[in-house]
Amino acid sequence: MKTNQNLAQITESFTIQLADRVRRLTAEGVPVIGLQTGDPDFNTPQPIIDAAHQAMLQGKTHYANSRGLPELRSALSAYVEQRTGRRFDPNSEMLITHGGTHAYHCALAAILNPGDEVLVPAASWQTHANMVRVLRGRPIQIKALPENDFLPTLEEWESQITDRTAALVLNTPSNPTGAVASRAYMQALLDLAKTHNLYLISDEVYDHLLYDGAAFTSAASLAGGEDHIILVNSFSKTYAMTGWRMGYLCAPAAIISSALKESQHTITNVAEFVQIGGLTAVTSPEVAASVEAMRAAYAERRAQVMAAFAQRQPRRVGYITPYGAFYFFLDLRPLGMPSLAAAEKLLNDARVAVVPGLAYGSSGEGFIRVTIAADVEHVLTGVNRIIDWAEAQ
């Protein structure tokens, strides 16, 4: 019988697969420090849960508006405008999606034809490249050096543009590196997209998670190029709502009308009670205070990890200072060991689960990613075990 040869060539998500493996080991009684998943260890703020709960009790458990609830789109439009200065029309330029993953899926589905190319930095969230493959496009990895915070130079981007290129993808703050692109960099990238008549897909799911005074630039706040910008965002990271599966897409009306078709024929709509929770997330001052409290907690953990490195001065493992998101990209290059082997050995020898840098693209080789969105004792125990392990190699 026939099967999809395209999907046969795509690897399973490394992080999701690893998380399943850690769950299995834990169930078997093997204590593993799981630092592999980008899932906040905080509970969703209570007002969001209360709003969704009330909505369920009121019977909001049926099909709902496929673009997203009008009141949620209006609130998000105001919220994005207040943060970026750019207004997206809630009726034609916004779509509520099943997480940031689905926002990205719908965006690509709206622009790609088979064989089209999408340029993705060579250390980037795995789905950025794999979703292109799922949709029968070709992801093109753009080399990105650690010395440049893993942000490809403009020349590297431009050198890979062909007449098949459809879009450039940038994620700032970055998973896995924690890099935050400057306004000048973003503007230059948008100008490049404009010059070559391409879309700039800006994945901004970590836009609230910034440290040490780093400034976030939304692509929507850049000058000119309105027709070229596609924003992907999510409730998952900011509001500790990963399990709710809700995100949103902001884009030119023609993109949204195609994305809407993709969404209607794949998910129908996001659950209404989930969206009502989301409305509280973007409008409640109490939730805004919780968001800041979670950010401050990540900042504290980040400082503690950096203090552990400063105190121990390891020679065989270093890190790229993260200015955003909630990960450390640890530099194991002094070991000269492939990152896949290092991650496997760390799990077997030190019982710490991490993601090999290669999973994020070729430029991530020699690195491993650990999360700080986990219990601080786990994070510190895990990081110290990694240091002990690396120094013993």
Ligand X SMILES: Cc1ncc(COP(=O)(O)O)c(C=O)c1O
Sites of contact with ligand X (CB under 6 A): 38, 99-101, 125, 171, 175, 203, 205, 234, 236, 242, 247
Residues 6+ apart with CB under 8 A from 49: 43, 277
Residue closer to ligand X (CB basis): 247 or 357: 247
* Closest residue to ligand X in the complex (CB): 99
Residue 79 CB, nearest distance to ligand X (Å)?
16
Nearer residue to ligand X within complex by CB, 73 or 105: 105
In the complex, the smallest distance separating the C-beta of residue 232 from ligand X, rounded to whole angstroms, is 7
| Shortest spacing between CB 20 and ligand X, in angstroms | 16
Q: What angle do CA 388, 31, 239 make, to 5 degrees?
A: 90
* Closest among 78, 44, 89 to 277, alpha carbons compared: 44
Radius of gyration of the chain (CA): 21
Q: Which is nearer to ligand X, 16 or 289 (CB)?
A: 16
> Judged by CB, which is closer to ligand X: 115, or 243?
243
Q: CB-wise, 44 or 175, nearer to ligand X?
A: 175
Min. distance of Cβ 244 from ligand X in angstroms? 9
Burial (CB count <10 Å: 0-12, 13-18, 19+), residue 30: exposed
Minimum distance from residue 316 beta carbon to ligand X (Å): 28
- Residue 234 or 269 with smaller CB distance to ligand X: 234
Give yes or no for a contact between 371 and 327, defined as CB atoms under 8 angstroms apart.
yes
Q: Where are the beta strands (DSSP E) in 7-68?
A: 33-34
Task: Report yes or no: 287 and 281 within 8 Å, Cβ to Cβ.
Answer: yes
Nearest distance from C-beta of residue 335 to ligand X, angstroms: 26
| Through-space distance between the first and last CA atoms of the chain, rounded to whole angstroms | 48
